[in-house]
């Protein structure tokens, strides 16, 4: 049976545009500015112009930031209940005007009305309701945290209003004020939202909206008055933002691209999986960061599954997005259509088979038919690049391990789907996939209560859930951090240059510690370490790039540590503490000799306590069971980040080392540590403690030498997942952030400020554990 056309009326939306003279200024301090230099927003389904928008200037961004800054204390002072009431009112108004928003979004973006009406708008309202709740509970549930301040938020065009709500709702709830930039293709629903803010009683300056292209984004990113940036968009721009903000102290979350696997095992309900796949890759024309764009199907059911899929593709309807019976609408802009066509043509040229159902493509606007590519090699461009269109690339696998290996064969790590009727298999595979979200027997589920965000080059930070709230909060203990202590210049200067005759002196040198073994430095150089009185104490190896490489390899080989039980990891930490205690006097004497500290004994005791502290946490840093509105559960797992490079502080050389290494290994990470450059000997003395504490080889690797040089190597190494630097070097920390952009590693840097390593508030707690972990949300629907 054919469906007749069922067009949604655009009368109200067109009237709203007319009411504004189809021209918009900027929304700053609850006022509309006079329109400035204009650019057009068009309907991608028929290329008709909808309205003109203002390209904001640098001084417009200045005004927006100033308004946000001025409004922040008042917004904070309104209190959790005050903010909750405003946000609740926003949610109500969004619901009331849902149809107008949905039609406007469809006109502006080209996505089907079925999606804007049934998916985007309900989720938008849900985000404001849910986060109104966090505002209400903030004082109780986040008592040790405060709002970050003024946040800059930049979003793409694929879910214009939904991304707005993901960004603005948690930021407002936490007490921040906002400078928001929609994507230049799709700004209209943000303009309508601005009006709703005024109606809902959002105080002036809390939400400011500036429109324009990437230049406006850059002005926000570089603005000194911004305390935090939240970006969703391409990995390429995410990298630029990481570089631009390096060393600025701005908090950053990046939600970037993906090439998400959709895994179908042979025992899956194949019909349900086909429907899941339709949602996964053809929802929003595939312009979805977490689109299931790589089908991995078990070889034994491949032919059957692909036959079902092709038959289903033949039934997909493509046409006017305002028609309620359409499955596939228009692409956002001709530029995307050309990009997608180029990638599909290249696959054809490489001999891939390209299947597209026969469908009528409208004469105007930008369109692309649903497409299935088979026969691509795993390294083909279509198998690796984010196509961001309705194009599925199918491959097969034989065994579960092969499925996992193929799933992880990408630089991205945003999402994955696993389809099988075998719960043991599903729950075995889900943790092995490097992705921030795993959907089991379902696809593309989103909710305000569940965290969303990536691993690897898909970015860092989470949106939604308790985990998402932390992105807009700062631990109060950060405010109490002292000025950076000045490391004794003398000791540092003497330590800097490799000792003359180092190669000769090597046998008297404390070696490096790699894979559980003491190793000579590759360069065969060493450096002299002097005490507080300037006298020579010992030499340590001068580690180089090759040593780091070996250490990283050893750390990867120790992957079993991540799978060890948390009870087991805790036991090892307790054992290290016990063995350190047994040699407490020796360590205290070493610290005193190196630093001249009168508190050396206290430092050893504090280090032992810190080991106990993180041993205690190892099996208590539980994840969460979120309850989104579905018949099922979403389990938020705290997973280790992987291999972490750590550059330790010079002050408190033992306590600083332990305070960084212990939380990392407690949660299952493996580490490559550069101990204090000036006072490394209490770290090299630990080798024997580790050797006698059942710590598996390769979990902790220690490379002594130049902090700057080794940090640089850690930050650029492609197999390291995160770098922490806490030696008080502002320039060094900035460099780590800048260099980490290449592979988008996570970073945790102390900057120029110091840290009271004795204070658990400053050097312990969930804020530290959050750096040592990343949250994976596994969606598990109940029932059949
Ligand atoms: P984009 O990353 O350039 O744009 C996203 C947002 O960033 C827009 O608001 C844009 O104005 C802004 N922007 C651009 N340059 C900036 C800069 N230097 N500094 C600050 N902000 C800047 O993405 P675009 O060009 O719209 O799409 C290109 C490709 O990126 C797509 O084909 C797709 O592959 C990918 N993409 C991925 C998205 C995701 O959610 N993962 C979303 C949008 C695009």
> Which residue's CA is the closest to the ligand 1 atom numbered 10?
214
The residue whose CA is least distant from atom 19 of ligand 1 is 218
Q: Where are the domains of the chain?
A: 19-36+50-255+469-474, 261-450, 506-772
pLDDT band at 489 (very low <50, low <70, confident <90, very high): very low
- Residue 107 tokens, joined: 């006109």
For 337, phi and psi rounded to 5 degrees? Answer: -60, -45
Nearest CA residue ID for atom 20, ligand 1: 217
pLDDT in tens, 84-126: 999 999 999 999 999 999 999 999 999 999 999 999 999 999 9
Beta carbons of 279 and 433 less than 8 angstroms apart = no
CB 242 less than 6 A from any atom of ligand 1: no
Closest by Cα among 554, 562, 615 to 773? 562
Task: Give me the sign of the Cα torsion angle 472, 477, 483, 488.
Answer: negative
Instruction: Give the whole-angstrom CA distance, residue 765 versus residue 771.
Output: 11
Strand partners, 672: 645, 701
Ligand 1 center–CA 155 separation, angstroms? 8
Tell me the CATH number for domain 506-772. Answer: 3.40.605.10
**Is 183 touching ligand 1 by the criterion CB < 6 Å?**
yes
Q: Which residues of 345-376 are buried (b: 16+ CB within 10 A; e: fewer)?
A: eebeeeebebbebeeeeeeebbbbbbbbbbeb
Given a cut of 60, whether residue 506 has pLDDT beyond it is: no
Tell me the pTM.
0.95
pLDDT of residue 501: 42
Closest among 388, 390, 326 to 354, alpha carbons compared: 390
CA 233 to ligand 1 center in whole angstroms: 4
Between vectors from CA 463 to CA 459 and to CA 464, what angle results, nearest 5°? 155
What residues pair up with 626 in beta bridges, in sequence order? 634
Respond yes or no: is residue 553 known to be catalytic. no
Is 506-772 in the same CATH topology as 261-450? no
What are the structure tokens assigned to 538, written together?
């010992």
**Nearest one of 293, 267, 279 to 415, comparing CA atoms:** 293
Confidence class for position 6, pLDDT limits 50, 70, 90? confident
pLDDT 10s digits, 720-776: 999 999 999 999 999 999 999 999 999 999 999 999 999 999 999 999 999 999 999
Residues recorded for the chain: 784
Residues with Cβ within 8 Å of 406's Cβ and at least 6 positions away in sequence, in order, are 261, 294, 296, 378, 395, 397
Helix (H) or strand (E) holding 607: helix 600-618
483 burial type by CB count under 10 A (0-12 exposed, 13-18 middle, 19+ buried): exposed
Q: Is the C-beta atom of 384 inside 6 A of ligand 1?
A: no
CATH superfamily of 19-36+50-255+469-474: Aldehyde Dehydrogenase; Chain A, domain 1 (3.40.605.10)
- Tell me the per-residue pLDDT of 220-278, one tens digit each, with 9 for 90 and over: 999 999 999 999 999 999 999 999 999 999 999 999 999 999 999 999 999 999 999 99
Nearest residue (by CA) to ligand 1, atom 43, is: 233
Tokens of 215: 């230049």
Position with higher pLDDT, 489 vs 440? 440
Question: 186: Cβ below 6 Å to ligand 1?
Answer: no
pLDDT at residue 1 tops 70 = no
* pLDDT reading at 293 higher than 60: yes
CB of 388 shorter than 6 A to ligand 1? yes
**CA 236 to ligand 1: nearest atom:** 2
Radius of gyration in angstroms for the set of CA atoms belonging to the chain, rounded to a whole number: 28
Q: State the Cα–Cα distance between residues 451 and 457, nearest whole angstrom.
A: 17
At residue 492 the predicted structure's pLDDT band, cuts being 50, 70 and 90, is: low
* Helix (H) or strand (E) segment spanning residue 335: helix 334-349
**Cα–Cα dist 421/681, whole Å:** 55
- Copy the structure tokens of residue 469: 């709230």
636, β-bridge pairs: 624, 777
Q: Distance, CA 230 to ligand 1 centroid (Å)?
A: 13
CA gap 576, 605 in Å, rounded: 13
Interval between CA 256 and ligand 1 midpoint (Å): 9
Q: How remote is the C-alpha of 767 from its chain's centroid? A: 16
232 lines ligand 1 (CB under 6 A): yes
Instruction: Establish whether residue 695 lines the binding site of ligand 1, counting it when its CB lies within 6 angstroms of any ligand atom.
Output: no
Question: Residue 232: beta bridge partners?
Answer: 255
Determine the pLDDT at residue 485: 74
Give the span between the Cα atoms of 424 and 418, in whole angstroms.
12
Reported ipTM: 0.97
How many angstroms separate the alpha carbon of residue 232 from the centre of ligand 1?
A: 7
Measured in Å, residue 151 CA sits from the centre of ligand 1 at 18
Ligand 1 contact, 214 CB (< 6 A): yes
Exactly one of 255, 386, 463, 471 is catalytic; name it: 255
Domain 261-450's class? Answer: alpha beta
Whether pLDDT at 490 is above 50: no
Question: Helix, strand or coil for residue 164?
Answer: helix
């Amino acid at each position: 049976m054919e469906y007749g056309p069922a067009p949604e009326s655009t009368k109200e939306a067109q009237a709203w545009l007319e009411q504004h003279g189809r021209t918009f200024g900027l929304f700053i301090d609850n006022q509309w500015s006079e329109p400035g230099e204009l650019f057009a927003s068009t309907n991608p389904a028929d290329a008709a112009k909808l309205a003109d928008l203002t390209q904001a200037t640098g001084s417009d961004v200045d005004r927006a930031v100033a308004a946000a800054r001025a409004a922040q204390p008042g917004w904070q002072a309104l209190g959790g209940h005050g903010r909750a009431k405003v946000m609740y009112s926003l949610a109500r108004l969004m619901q009331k005007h849902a149809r107008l928003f949905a039609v406007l979004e469809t006109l502006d973006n080209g996505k089907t009305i079925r999606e804007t009406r049934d998916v985007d708008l309900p989720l938008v309202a849900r985000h404001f309701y849910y986060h109104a709740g966090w505002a209400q509970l903030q004082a109780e549930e986040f008592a040790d945290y405060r709002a970050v301040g003024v946040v800059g938020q930049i979003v793409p065009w694929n879910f214009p209003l939904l991304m707005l709500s993901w960004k603005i709702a948690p930021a407002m709830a936490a007490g921040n004020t906002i400078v928001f930039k929609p994507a230049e293709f799709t700004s209209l629903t943000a303009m309508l939202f601005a009006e709703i803010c005024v109606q809902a009683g959002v105080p002036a300056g809390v939400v400011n909206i500036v429109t324009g292209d990437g230049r406006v984004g850059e002005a926000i990113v570089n603005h000194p008055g911004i305390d935090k940036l939240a970006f969703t968009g391409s990995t390429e721009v995410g990298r630029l933002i990481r570089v631009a903000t390096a060393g600025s102290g701005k908090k950053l979350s990046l939600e970037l691209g993906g090439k998400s696997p959709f895994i179908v095992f042979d025992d899956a309900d194949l019909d349900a999986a086909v429907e899941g796949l339709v949602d996964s890759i053809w929802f929003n024309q595939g312009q979805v960061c977490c689109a299931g764009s790589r089908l991995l199907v078990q070889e034994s059911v491949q032919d059957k599954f692909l036959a079902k899929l092709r038959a289903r593709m033949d039934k997909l309807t493509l046409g006017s997005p305002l028609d309620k019976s359409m499955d596939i609408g228009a692409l956002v802009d001709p530029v995307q259509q050309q990009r997608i066509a180029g990638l599909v043509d290249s696959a054809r040229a490489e001999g891939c088979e390209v299947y597209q159902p026969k469908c009528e493509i409208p004469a105007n606007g930008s369109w692309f038919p649903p497409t299935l590519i088979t026969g691509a090699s795993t390294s083909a461009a279509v198998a690796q690049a984010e196509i961001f269109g309705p194009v599925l690339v199918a491959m097969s696998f034989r065994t579960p391990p092969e499925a996992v290996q193929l799933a992880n064969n990408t630089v991205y790590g945003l999402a994955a789907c696993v389809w099988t009727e075998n719960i043991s298999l599903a729950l075995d595979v889900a943790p092995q996939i490097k992705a921030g979200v795993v959907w089991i027997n379902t696809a593309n589920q989103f909710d305000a209560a569940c965290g969303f965000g990536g691993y690897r080059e898909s970015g860092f930070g989470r949106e939604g859930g308790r985990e998402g709230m932390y992105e807009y909060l700062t631990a109060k203990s950060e405010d109490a951090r002292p000025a950076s202590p000045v490391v004794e210049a003398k000791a540092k200067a003497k330590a800097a240059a490799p000792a003359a005759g180092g190669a000769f002196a090597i046998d008297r040198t404390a070696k490096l510690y790699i894979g559980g073994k003491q190793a000579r430095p590759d360069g065969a150089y060493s450096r002299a370490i002097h005490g507080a009185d300037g006298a020579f104490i010992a030499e340590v190896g001068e580690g180089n790039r090759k040593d780091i490489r070996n250490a990283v390899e050893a750390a990867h080989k120790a992957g079993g540590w991540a799978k060890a039980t948390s009870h087991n990891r805790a036991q090892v930490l307790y054992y290290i503490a016990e063995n350190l205690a047994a040699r407490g006097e020796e360590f205290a004497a070493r610290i005193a000799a190196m630093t001249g500290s009168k508190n050396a004994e206290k430092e050893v005791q504090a280090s032992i306590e810190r080991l106990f502290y993180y041993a205690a946490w190892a099996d208590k840093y539980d994840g969460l069971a979120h309850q989104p509105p579905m018949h099922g559960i979403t389990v938020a797992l705290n997973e280790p980040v992987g291999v972490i490079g750590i550059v330790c502080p010079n002050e408190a050389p033992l306590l600083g080392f332990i305070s960084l290494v212990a939380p990392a290994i407690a949660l299952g990470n493996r580490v490559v540590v550069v101990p204090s450059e000036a006072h490394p000997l209490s770290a090299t003395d630990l080798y024997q403690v580790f050797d006698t504490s059942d710590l598996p080889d390769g979990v902790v690797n220690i490379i002594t030498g130049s902090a700057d040089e080794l940090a640089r190597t850690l930050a650029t190494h492609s197999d390291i997942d995160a770098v922490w630097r806490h030696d008080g070097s502002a320039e060094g920390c900035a460099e780590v952030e800048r260099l980490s952009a290449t592979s988008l590693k996570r970073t945790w840097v102390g900057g120029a400020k110091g840290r009271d390593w004795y204070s658990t508030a400053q050097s312990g707690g969930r804020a530290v554990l959050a750096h040592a972990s990343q949250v994976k949300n596994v969606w598990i629907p109940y029932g059949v």
